[in-house]
Amino acid sequence: MDGIFGGKGFFGGRFAFILFLILILLFFGDD
């Protein structure tokens, strides 16, 4: 799982962070 929030690997830095935020928003926005 190296590369998550690391900047190297399959998912790097900002992209993984944005995906994580979207998942959280979808989870809490499923009211």
Instruction: Give yes or no for residue 3 having a pLDDT over 80.
Output: no
* pLDDT given for residue 22 in this prediction: 92
pTM for the complete prediction?
Answer: 0.48
Give 17's pLDDT tier (boundaries 50, 70, 90).
confident
Q: Report d(CA 24, CA 11) in Å as an integer.
A: 17
* Concatenated DSSP letters of 1-23: -TTTTTSSSSS-HHHHHHHHHHH
Residues in Cβ contact with 4 at an 8 Å cutoff, skipping those fewer than 6 apart: 11, 16
Instruction: Give yes or no for residue 24 having a pLDDT over 80.
Output: yes
* pLDDT given for residue 31 in this prediction: 64
Q: If you average pLDDT over residues 4-31, what whole number do you get?
A: 75
Please provide the average confidence, as pLDDT, over all residues in the chain.
72
Give residue limits of the domains in the chain: 1-31
Closest C-alpha among 30, 29, 3 to residue 16: 3
